[in-house]
Amino acid sequence: MSGLPEDPFQMDEELDDRSLKSVNPIARESNQQDQRLLRDGNTSNKLKAVGTQSHQVPNDIPELLNPVAPTYGDVTDAVDDDEQQYEEDLDDKLDRSMYNQKTSKEVQFSLPTKELTPPENFAPVINNIYRSSFPHPNNFTFLRKLKLKSVLCLIPEDYPDSYAEFFQEEGIHIFQLGMSGNKEPFVNISNELITEAVKIVLDPKNQPILIHCNRGKHRTGCLVGVLRRLQKWSLSIIFDEYRKFAAPKERPMDQQFIELYDESDIERYAEKNGLLPIRWD
């Protein structure tokens, strides 16, 4: 890439026309890089994908961009569910078929590639507290690296049977606080359950801990929002963080929950147990 002129990577939106014209050279350039990477054997995953189309020349660019799309498209979520009337609630449901299908096969496939796949919406929250969406079997290699002591699951559904082995091997303790997400107009996240969740998460005995629900957006977002309130973050920044992880399905009710949550119980509990203030490592 050293010989590459600067302008193919122009970052200014105003210069869109110019950068569009120079798309072809980039395509060729990145292709060369692809082939170089393939030779290095670093991306065996891609090797498999690309290898099927005998000689890939410039037309594999769409292939390059494809991995990005599923993360943001919600089409796939909505299609095969029969509860069409609450489109936005589909996220709250665990699609069990998805996890059962790709159990043992998926594990075997993910091992030889050596590529780490974090669960969608994965991020550290504070120190040894992490958040994510529902982990797939192909995230297990990544999760092992976190050396988790426990996992806090915020959905009522049980894990597929195939997960037990992984949790046992890793000695991970499972906490399950099944709560329904905030749904207009009647269903609310319960204050008490979130308080219980905070107690579990803040307990150093349970850390490192991973918090997850189904998509890592709403229920996890509410819990993280409450943790931020205990850190005394300003509400605007808490909402900003919530929206980043919930996009494109931000729920005003979740933000309202975070704002109105009564923290007096948990604060009393946390102060008694020396859990506040939460300091950065």
By the rule CB under 8 A, 118 interacts with another protein: yes
Q: Is 213 a catalytic residue?
A: yes
By the rule CB under 8 A, 18 interacts with another protein: no
Using CB atoms within 10 Å of the CB of residue 101, give its burial: 0 to 12 exposed, 13 to 18 middle, 19+ buried.
exposed
Among 234, 252, 259, 268, binds another protein (CB under 8 A): 234
Comparing CB distances to another protein, the nearer of 142 and 269 is 142
3-state secondary structure of 79: helix
By the rule CB under 8 A, 19 interacts with another protein: yes
Minimal distance, residue 246 CB to another protein, in Å: 11
Report the length, in residues, of the chain: 281
- DSSP secondary structure string, 8-54? GG---GGGHHHHHHTHHHHHHHHHHHHHHHHHHT--HHHHHHHHTSS
Tokens found for residue 120: 């969608």
Of the candidates 179, 175, 174, the residue with the CA atom closest to the CA atom of residue 163: 174
Among 112, 237, 268, 271, binds another protein (CB under 8 A): 237
Q: Do the beta carbons of residue 137 and residue 103 sit within 8 Å?
A: yes
Quickly count: other Cβ atoms within 10 Å of residue 273's Cβ.
12
By the rule CB under 8 A, 174 interacts with another protein: no
By the rule CB under 8 A, 247 interacts with another protein: yes
Q: How far apart are CA 123 and CA 242, in angstroms?
A: 12
Comparing CB distances to another protein, the nearer of 85 and 108 is 108
Among 93-101, 163-171, 242-250, 253-261, the segment contacting another protein (CB under 8 A): 242-250
Among 24, 33, 190, 256, binds another protein (CB under 8 A): 33
By the rule CB under 8 A, 38 interacts with another protein: no
Residues binding another protein: what is the number (CB under 8 A)?
57
By the rule CB under 8 A, 20 interacts with another protein: no
The active-site residue, picked from 148, 213, 226, 246, is: 213
By the rule CB under 8 A, 233 interacts with another protein: yes
Among 42-50, 101-109, 193-201, 218-226, the segment contacting another protein (CB under 8 A): 42-50
Q: Do the beta carbons of residue 181 and residue 257 sit within 8 Å?
A: no
Using CB atoms within 10 Å of the CB of residue 181, give its burial: 0 to 12 exposed, 13 to 18 middle, 19+ buried.
buried
For the chain, how far is it from start to end, CA to CA, in angstroms? Answer: 38
Q: How far apart are CA 56 and CA 46, in angstroms?
A: 12
By the rule CB under 8 A, 13 interacts with another protein: yes
By the rule CB under 8 A, 279 interacts with another protein: yes
- Catalytically active residues are 213
Which residues would be at the binding site for another protein (CB under 8 A)? 1-2, 6, 8-13, 15, 19, 26, 29-30, 33, 40, 42-43, 45, 64-65, 67-68, 70-72, 113-118, 120-128, 142, 145, 231-235, 237, 240-241, 244-245, 247, 279-281
